[in-house]
Amino acid sequence: MNFSKLLKYLNHHIVTKQSVTRKIIRFNNRKEFQSCLRQIKKLKPSLSKLSHIQPIGIIHAISCPLHSSNNLISHPAIRFIEKDTKIKMHSPTNFAPIETELKSSIPWGVQEIKAPQVWKYTKGDGIKISVIDTGVDFNHPDLKERLRRGFNFIFPHMPPWDDNGHGTHIAGTIAASNEKMGIVGTAPQAELYPIKAFDHRGTAYSSDIIQAIEWSIRNQMNIINMSFGMSNRSQSLLDAIKQANELGIITVASSGNDGKKENVDYPARFTPTISVGATSTKKRLASFSNKGKNIDIYAPGERIFSTWPNRKYVELNGTSMATSHVSGIVALMLSINPKLSPVKIKTILKKTGTPLSNSTSKKNIPKEINAIRAIRAVKKLKTK
């Protein structure tokens, strides 16, 4: 199929200003997508703005900054076009730097979910977790042993260094492993692959997240941690998550910090993900956490003490922090039985959670994740 007319249109309408809306253009199939890519490569020397086109192989699509896409819809190779939505990481509701000399410490959240009690069986050995976030501090002593190379989608030729702090905090709760002079995370033998999809302001496009999911599939991750969200639904993002899910990759996502009832952000709202809400230090639903039947499991999200860039530590509140606890427990489960499907993992977590006391619902009683019960269920399954 000839795409020259389409590509000339794109070259004319692509705008390089940062404030312009981006579009995801989906092709009918892989063959047409690859044909278009070949013609982009051929025409780039004469149509310079085509260099701003971002291929997204996992969903047979391209993303680019466009003023208008109205005249593209009739092209026979195009399946549909949707807005490449901006996504914000779920910003913490507080920020409390801790300036103290640390001795070995297991943060209260890790203790609350009873992770230390199952470390005699597993510490998450060999489980690969991609953390799609702002990157990580590779020099932090509590994380150094657990970190693998990962990838940087903001600056592809650089390692995924954290210029925000959020990603480093998430990584610490999942798998920090400094037993001598730092903190210990939920799964202290898991492998962390930081993927920097968010800039220093904590902002990304949905196409960046989709590419991060594609990287996770290609590099055979077991778990994808997604501590971010948006209110708009993206079919392209759902399709990428579905592909990961079908390949057995567990996706864990934060529900949002708006304190809303019966409302959950995307991608946590998508059925294939494990959607996570937050509990407080008093073992109750956290006031800032989104709540409702669309949340699969809750975990500690208030005053969560974890790693921060420049060898520091901070306490943060948020469903992002809750999500990292859940990713850690899933790693413990998979290290005992790597064949557990995403559906089975979610079912076990929901069945084995500890009911929360301040629920107003009788049908959908919210539960906090419980490592002892979850691991016991996994071990029982394995012996059958």
Active site residues per annotation: 133, 166, 320
| CA gap 266, 42 in Å, rounded | 37
Q: Are 56 and 95 in contact (CB under 8 A)?
A: no
User: What is the signed CA dihedral for 188, 189, 194, 200, rounded to 10 degrees?
Assistant: 10
Q: Name the one residue in this structure whose structure tokens are 């959950």.
A: 264
Return the DSSP state at 203.
E
What's the alpha-carbon Rg for the chain, to the nearest Å? 21
| CA gap 301, 304 in Å, rounded | 6
Q: Name the one residue in this structure whose structure tokens are 């999942």.
A: 174
| CA gap 323, 320 in Å, rounded | 5
Q: Is the peptide bond before 267 cis (omega within 30 degrees of 0)?
A: yes
Contacts of 297 (CB under 8 A, 6+ apart): 274, 275, 276, 277, 326, 349, 350, 353, 367, 368, 369
Residues facing residue 277 across a β-bridge: 298
Return the DSSP state at 157.
T
Nearest to 321 by CA among 173, 144, 204: 173
Which runs of consecutive H residues, i.e. helices, occur in the chain?
4-13, 30-43, 108-112, 166-175, 206-218, 235-246, 319-336, 342-352, 371-383
